[in-house]
Chains A and B, each alone.
Chain A
Amino acid sequence: MSELSILGRRLPKTNSWAHLTGSARYADDIHLPRMLYGRLLRSTRPHALIKRVDVTRALAHPGVVAIVTGADMPEKMGIMPSTQDETALAVDKVRYVGEPVAAVAALDEDSAYEALSLIDVEYEDLEPIFTIEEALEREDVKIHEEAKRANVFKEVHLSFGDLDAGFAAADHIRDDWFFFEGNTHAPIESHACVASYDADGKLTLWTSTQVPHYLHREMEKVLGLARSRIRVIATPNGGGFGGKSDPFGHEFSAALLSMRTKRPVKIGLDREEVFYAHRGRHPVKMHLRTGVKKDGEITACSLQTYLDGGAYASYGIATTYYTGALLTVTYRIPAYKFDGVRVYTNKPPCGPKRGHGTTQPRFAFECQLDKIATDLGFDPIEYRRRILQPANSRTVNELRITTMGLGDCLDAVKRSTSWERKKGQLPKGKGIGVAGSAYISGAGLPIYWNEMPHSGAEIRIDRGGGVTVMCGTSEIGQGSDNMLAAVTAETLGIFPEDVHVVSGDTSLAPVDLGSYSSRVTMMAGNATKNAGMKLRDMLFEVASEKLGAPADRLNAAYRRIFDLQDPEKHMSFVEAANLAEAKFGTLVAAGSYKPPAGIGGSYKGAGVGPTPAYSYQASVAEVTVDLETGQLTVDKITTAHDCGRALNPTNAEGQVEGSAYMGYGEIMVEEQVFRGGLHKKPSLLDYKLPTSLDTPQLEAILVETMDSEGPYGAKEAGEGPLNPVIPAIANAVYDAIGVRFDETPITAEKILDALGKRDNRGVPKDRIGPDGLADTRRDPKRALRRLSASTDARERKRVESPAE
């Protein structure tokens, strides 16, 4: 292949200018004539039967135009077709505080707000379940009647290779429990949508969604309106991170309210609602057992995960499998057993957050490998380096690996941090730690079973040399619009600014499954390249005739088509386009992409884990622990990431830095925790996103492996780099103070506890973490008593002083 003209260069994103001038139009920026404003009434109870919903008083409130309730949209929905257990608004029963129950449309937002308190809902409280242990045991309380065993949503059991022989052959076995606390995405843009049902019987929904295609399907199902009459447009997402990947109640409610009123309806969530909408990182307890030979070679590994799923399925079936699937792609594991169970609890549903389901077991595994390295007296980088899963191989669970840059990533972070001068040589209170990781470049299978492409793109060339690329991808800040423009420009030999991008529009663009599982560059990039190559062939055919050079000797770059042997023989892109249109008719081409067959196994559950190509990454964290206050300071995080080819190094580095930031937040402060079903910190002040003053120095190093599966060699960059950061920090804390943190987050309080300084009687500990499934530190009954007291008080206040 000839040299690339666009890809690999640090060009500004083509959609930057809209972001930087305030002209980017996010969902809440849309204003349509006659538009109504909607608000959702949300459950105040964690688990209750809905005995009655009376909207009479609310409908009489000035300004209120329409109200819908669960009974208006009883159809079950949910992102995974096999586990649809949700309704747009609660029907008969609520299962978490914050679950939407009714939706009001009014002339203005204030009136809609006021009307909410005039909707009379009569609940009959049921006993709520808040912990994994209770959910597993309580047959007498069923959050979902359909659950076969207690409140188990999904159980999976997979086994590969001879586990018993593996453990029997081990010289050393580590057996540890870990806990990863739940946390949430907290995008700065809260979810918003505008629905407009027009006189022609067609519905348009503008919404901040990562998955316009899947939402399109659910809209048809819930609204009973043919999909041909529905158009979903994903507006630029002001951050996604997985939190806008489910179909949400407010989207269906806005649509139905618009259908009822024949007026556009906007619903935007407020910040507190976003915390309850959630779908974020699952809290996971993990029991991990790994056997190794004296030289450190792994002989067997067994992992049991317990996921606290919250009240509904969301992506839970995939999350459950993901807690086991990717543990095998980094280091050689000849025998592997994975058991996972996800339970329902009366809390907001968990779902996919950056690193989906792999972040928690990766934390456990990399912390345990660090312990093994310590036990055997190995340097943790050298140790990992020795046991790497090779490139172009199959794992024990039959995942196909192509390029594998973890070794290079480990070398890069070692070099960049002067590891050898620091490891084992820092004073008490200072530490350095490492971890490796991997992630998928897109899921091998779609969410609903079908044989169609995962991504389609259409490219059109106009007579003036302008080019439009259309693809169903959703721009969530990861740079997918720019990727489409850059790949189109590279393929056709023009500049990204010559390309108009139409994305996330189910009417104008071919289907792309969405911005999840780090699939967009791999899949939409390949589809776009594929479409571009068809047009390039047409352009080269006419250029070949005109220039008198064989087509295979031509190249396209800088808005020219030229003879590689004699670059003086050239013609402009516009001229070639005009000649090609004269010869072939209107210049349009479509391309599509589907992952290759044979990248995974054929056992039940083999659908989760395979990908066209895995990304790899390694992080080194350097920390300081204040031995008096317990304050943990992360001084620097260095992450090397194998992204195949960096199509735009600036943007790829941005993904690595952003991932490091988010991982840092997860292990330091972020917790999605509840008291009696109420979120303990549903605001940006209390939840504490790291600010610029909190965030450590971040260094991103790109390792390029040029994977033949990716468009121009690219793999993913958006999610994998989060994973190694968390265990690297935990391992650095061990290096600093000799205490293992087998749970997240690592707070100053826990460090003081470990140092024996939390109170005067304190005894130092060498480990903080769970010893089993049971959680003895919490008293759910106490929380419940407090909740019922505060709910009663709120209810009394509401009845005594109803809104005007």
Chain B
Amino acid sequence: MKEMTTLRVNGETHTVAAEPHHTLLEVLREELNLTGTKHGCELGECGACTVLVDGTPVLSCLTLPAQIGDAEVLTVEGLAKGPELHPLQTAFAEEGAAQCGYCTPGMLMSAKALLDAKPRPTRDDIAHAISGNLCRCTGYTAIYEAIEKAAQRV
């Protein structure tokens, strides 16, 4: 039986009917059509589904909406401020940090949490911050460069 759930996502409040056992990932993608958040394993192994909950990266495939209550969820769709892209988005484009783009939304959210907590991260900080986000395309090099570039602009 579906139950009514209220979520705050990207600054908007949504009330949706969802199966109580469906994860935050499923509710975001299937009920709210926020398909920017990806799934690569649905077992908490790949990090593709990373979103921010009150600024902290969480794996939305391992999170139930009931667990987060009225906390603020931020997904990749909420990263840009209206027409203005987040510096991470521009830096990722310039450095070629998104190849197939599938890990990118999760990677961006982990990177944002890092920069919010530590505006001038070292490369080691970055490697740790994105160590739960698997990327199969880049070898991570361009991602480091993009996050470093964004850090200079934030």
Of residues 693 through 728 on chain A, the ones whose CB sits less than 8 Å from some CB of chain B are 693, 695, 698, 700
**Contacts A188-B136, A660-B139; A271 near B42 (Cβ below 8 A):** yes
Which residues of A sit under 8 angstroms from B85, Cβ to Cβ? 20-21
Partner pick for B101 among A477, A650, A662, CB 8 A cutoff:
A477
B46 part of interface (Cβ distance < 8 Å): yes
B75 part of interface (Cβ distance < 8 Å): yes
Smallest CB-CB separation from B139: which chain A residue? A661
B104 part of interface (Cβ distance < 8 Å): yes
A24 B142 Cβ-Cβ under 8 A: no
B108 part of interface (Cβ distance < 8 Å): yes
**Contacts A188-B46, A188-B103, A189-B100; A689 near B139 (Cβ below 8 A):** no
A684 B45 Cβ-Cβ under 8 A: yes
**Contacts A18-B101, A21-B79, A654-B138; A13 near B38 (Cβ below 8 A):** no
**What is the minimal beta-carbon distance from B102 to any residue of chain A, in angstroms?**
3
Binds A, one of B52-60, B65-73, B87-95: B87-95
A683 part of interface (Cβ distance < 8 Å): yes
**What is the minimal beta-carbon distance from B135 to any residue of chain A, in angstroms?**
7
**Per-residue interface assignment for chain A, residues 6 to 25, with 1 indicating a CB less than 8 Å from any chain B CB and 0 otherwise:** 00001011011111111111
Smallest CB-CB separation from B110: which chain A residue? A692
Partner pick for A695 among B41, B99, B139, CB 8 A cutoff:
B139
A188 B48 Cβ-Cβ under 8 A: yes
Of residues 105 through 138 on chain B, the ones whose CB sits less than 8 Å from some CB of chain A are 105, 108, 126-128, 130-138
Smallest CB-CB separation from A661: which chain B residue? B139
B141 part of interface (Cβ distance < 8 Å): yes
Provide the bound-state CA to CA distance between A591 and B95, in Å.
Answer: 32
B33 part of interface (Cβ distance < 8 Å): yes
Which residues of B sit under 8 angstroms from A186, Cβ to Cβ? 136
**Contacts A22-B77, A683-B45, A684-B41; A692 near B140 (Cβ below 8 A):** yes
**Per-residue interface assignment for chain B, residues 9 to 27, with 1 indicating a CB less than 8 Å from any chain A CB and 0 otherwise:** 0000000000100000000
**Contacts A188-B134, A190-B40, A692-B130; A239 near B45 (Cβ below 8 A):** no
Provide the bound-state CA to CA distance between A21 and B104, in Å.
Answer: 9
Interface size range of chain B in the complex = 35 or more
Provide the bound-state CA to CA distance between A238 and B104, in Å.
Answer: 10
B35 part of interface (Cβ distance < 8 Å): yes
B104 A19 Cβ-Cβ under 8 A: yes
B89 A657 Cβ-Cβ under 8 A: no
A138 part of interface (Cβ distance < 8 Å): no
**What is the minimal beta-carbon distance from B52 to any residue of chain A, in angstroms?**
13
Provide the bound-state CA to CA distance between A519 and B139, in Å.
Answer: 22
Partner pick for B41 among A19, A271, A660, CB 8 A cutoff:
A271
B42 A658 Cβ-Cβ under 8 A: no
B136 A187 Cβ-Cβ under 8 A: yes
B50 part of interface (Cβ distance < 8 Å): no
Counting chain A CB atoms within 10 Å of each CB, the highest count among B46, B48, B85, B133 belongs to B46
Q: Is the interface of A mostly helix, strand, loop or mixed?
A: loop
B36 A239 Cβ-Cβ under 8 A: no
**Contacts A188-B40, A271-B41, A271-B42; A20 near B130 (Cβ below 8 A):** no
A666 part of interface (Cβ distance < 8 Å): no
B139 A26 Cβ-Cβ under 8 A: no
B151 part of interface (Cβ distance < 8 Å): no
A236 part of interface (Cβ distance < 8 Å): yes
Partner pick for A683 among B41, B143, B144, CB 8 A cutoff:
B41
**What is the minimal beta-carbon distance from A590 to any residue of chain B, in angstroms?**
29
Provide the bound-state CA to CA distance between A24 and B105, in Å.
Answer: 11
**What is the minimal beta-carbon distance from A181 to any residue of chain B, in angstroms?**
19
**What is the minimal beta-carbon distance from A549 to any residue of chain B, in angstroms?**
37
Partner pick for B137 among A12, A31, A239, CB 8 A cutoff:
A239
Which residues of B sit under 8 angstroms from A19, Cβ to Cβ? 98, 100-101, 104
Which residues of A sit under 8 angstroms from B143, Cβ to Cβ? 692
Of residues 434 through 490 on chain A, the ones whose CB sits less than 8 Å from some CB of chain B are 476-479
A241 part of interface (Cβ distance < 8 Å): yes
B98 A189 Cβ-Cβ under 8 A: no
B77 A693 Cβ-Cβ under 8 A: no
B62 part of interface (Cβ distance < 8 Å): no
**What is the minimal beta-carbon distance from A725 to any residue of chain B, in angstroms?**
10
Counting chain B CB atoms within 10 Å of each CB, the highest count among A10, A188, A660 belongs to A188
Which residues of A sit under 8 angstroms from B95, Cβ to Cβ? 650
Provide the bound-state CA to CA distance between A189 and B95, in Å.
Answer: 22
Which residues of A sit under 8 angstroms from B43, Cβ to Cβ? 271, 683-685
Q: List 6 A-B contacts (CB under 8 A).
A: A22-B75, A22-B105, A241-B136, A651-B96, A684-B46, A692-B144
Closest 6 CB pairs of A and B: A22-B36, A477-B100, A19-B101, A238-B102, A661-B139, A22-B76
Residues of chain B at the chain A interface (Cβ within 8 Å):
19, 29-30, 33-43, 45-46, 48, 75-77, 79-80, 85, 89, 92-96, 98-105, 108, 126-128, 130-144
Residues of chain A at the chain B interface (Cβ within 8 Å):
10, 12-13, 15-26, 28-29, 31, 110, 185-190, 236-241, 270-271, 476-479, 650-651, 653-654, 657-658, 660-662, 664, 683-685, 689, 691-693, 695, 698, 700
